[in-house]
Amino acid sequence: MPRPIQATIHPAALRANLERARRAAPDARLWAVVKANAYGHGIERVWSAVRAADGIALLDLDEAERVRALGWRGPLLLLEGVFEPRDLELCSRLSLWHTVHCDAQIDWLSAHKTHAPHRVFLKMNSGMNRLGFAPGRFRAAFARLSALPQVDEISLMTHFSDADGPRGISHQLAAFQGATEDLPGERSICNSAALLRHGLQAEVRLDWVRAGIALYGGAPDHPERTAGDWGLQPAMTLASRLIGVQQLGEGDTVGYGSRFAAPAPMRIGVVACGYADGYPRHAPTGTPVLVDGVRTRVVGRVSMDMLAVDLAPVPGAAIGSEVTLWGRGPGGAVLPIDEVAEAAGTIGYELMCALAPRVPVVTDEA
Ligand SMILES: *Cc1c(COP(=O)(O)O)cnc(C)c1O
């Protein structure tokens, strides 16, 4: 028997989440963001669901080739644009739309030979200070691109730093609006957080919204709002089983560094899941976990291949009992990935993306 750990991808949940994202911006077109191998879910595994989007957005050119190989003929956008001049040949060959965020990318385009002119998304740095032209330089970039025979349609985009938090989007929205007011072209500014929290305003949702985490069932603004609050369902389950049980006496310790000491006699279960599977090593004692669908907690340090759980709430648990690290448990129980991430000091995005290659993945076609 293989080691009992397994991840399950739920395409039906992805389909429902995509519909949920559409309801947040009913008249906008929706990019399904599938970068990082569909946030760790596997582009091919989620394909039956994400193909219902209006466009596919990602970063890696090899992932773009995979999406075309799946038969996608619709819009396919490189969110960071090209990384070197010869990437433009692939853009021509695969009809990729690409972001333009710096002058070097415009230089490369002006030297590029192509039969079919490219559709580009000109990116503004409206305050995040990652990629894009500052508002004061945006028009000049637009003018340069407009003059190129290699370019046909120019769309306008920016990205928010605080759509999920108290600072909000208004300062960046004002910068974007101010510098683009009389420019033609379609516009795209929303990620999942902006879409869910602000998308009902027409001046925010605009022509295209870019949904990532929401499609995978994560709340972009956990813990202020949970995935359940947003009507999102988990698209990934990580499950394993108990492979050991220990009876502890008062003062007995668990795992490396003896980080947990039993305050009284207790039973613990040992789970075949560790940080080499993608479970966060920093998950402390108290991190939620389900055993046979019953909520309990991690105790002691997570090791490479194992972690320990408190069996007090599940006296019937024994070797072979099902353990849900995140996602859907037996009997309709759900453990949101965001809760595990929060306990470990990170976000659901990171846990999804970090699912380790050694974990076998199956698709739940139900
Ligand atoms: C990743 C990404 C998104 C999606 O963000 P989520 O928070 O996952 O919705 C949108 N736009 C850009 C430019 C991105 O890189």
Ligand 1 lined by 191 (C-beta under 6 Å): yes
Mean pLDDT of 285-311: 98
Count Cβ atoms below 10 Å from residue 360 Cβ, excluding itself: 12
**CATH superfamily, domain at 11-218:** Alanine racemase (3.20.20.10)
Q: Which residues does the annotation place in the binding site? A: 130, 304
Tell me the mean pLDDT in the region 5-31.
97
139 C-beta neighbours (distance < 10 Å), count: 14
What pLDDT does 47 receive?
98
Percent of the chain with pLDDT over 90: 98
Distance 135 CA to ligand 1 centre (A): 21
Chain mean pLDDT for the chain: 97
Mean per-residue pLDDT for 162-170? 97
Rounded mean pLDDT of 100-121? 97
CB of 210 closer than 6 A to ligand 1?
yes
Residue 298's pLDDT band, with cuts at 50, 70 and 90, is: very high
Q: Which residues are annotated as a binding site for substrate?
A: 130, 304
Write out the CATH class of domain 236-363: mainly beta
Name the residue ranges covered by the structural domains of the chain.
11-218, 236-363
- Cis peptide leading into residue 149 (ω within 30°): no
pLDDT score recorded for residue 1: 82
Q: What pLDDT shows up at residue 365? A: 81
Atom of ligand 1 nearest to the CA of 214: 9
Q: Which atom of ligand 1 is nearest to the CA of 192?
A: 9
Q: In the structure, what pLDDT confidence band is assigned to residue 16 with cuts at 50, 70 and 90?
A: very high
Percent of the chain with pLDDT over 70: 100
Q: Does ligand 1 have an atom closer than 6 angstroms to the CB of 212?
A: yes
Ligand 1: centre distance to CA 98 (Å): 15
pTM of the model: 0.97
The predicted model gives 196-203 an average pLDDT of 94
191 CA from centroid of ligand 1 (Å): 5
Question: What mean pLDDT comes out for the span 244-271?
Answer: 98
What pLDDT is stored for residue 366 in this prediction? 67
Distances, alpha carbon 103 to alpha carbons 79, 141, 145, 214, in Å: 16, 7, 10, 32
pLDDT tens digits along 38-80:
999 999 999 999 999 999 999 999 999 999 999 999 999 999 9
Residues marked as catalytic? 35, 256
